[in-house]
């Protein structure tokens, strides 16, 4: 959420819903994201898209959909900083 618009307040998200992604390249993020959402995390709501949030877990950034009502959380995007960026 670094670099995100600070005008919008964070929301506390905690859920045990299953997490789904339709991008096979992001499946390795599911266990970490599921554990974080089970504990609860700070999330930045997308002001233009209700039910969508930015979440940071460690160094990873996620864009998720939490439909209400819904049975799952959808992982839409994930980003991990490049190794060179971590060395700085």
Closest to 49 (Cα-Cα) out of 25, 77, 26, 28:
77
What is the value of pTM for the model shown?
Answer: 0.82
CATH annotation of 11-87: 3.30.2310
Tell the residue number behind the tokens 């929301």, with chain if given: 11
Confidence of residue 7 (pLDDT cuts 50, 70, 90): low
Q: How far apart are CA 19 and CA 30, in angstroms?
A: 7
DSSP code, position 62: E
- Contact indicator for 34, 60 with CB cutoff of 8 Å: no
- What pLDDT score does 85 carry? 58
What was the pLDDT predicted at 87? Answer: 57
What's the confidence (pLDDT) of residue 4?
A: 47
Query: What is the separation of C-alpha 7 from the centre of its chain, rounded to a whole number of angstroms?
Result: 19
């Amino acid at each position: 959420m670094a670099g995100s618009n600070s005008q919008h307040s964070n929301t506390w998200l905690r859920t045990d819903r299953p997490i789904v992604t339709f991008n096979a390249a992001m499946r390795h993020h599911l266990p970490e994201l599921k554990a974080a959402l089970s504990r609860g995390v700070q999330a930045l709501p997308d002001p233009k898209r209700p039910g969508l949030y930015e979440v940071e877990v460690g160094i990873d950034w996620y864009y998720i959909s939490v439909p209400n009502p819904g049975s799952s959380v959808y992982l839409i995007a994930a980003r991990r900083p490049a190794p060179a960026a971590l060395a700085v």
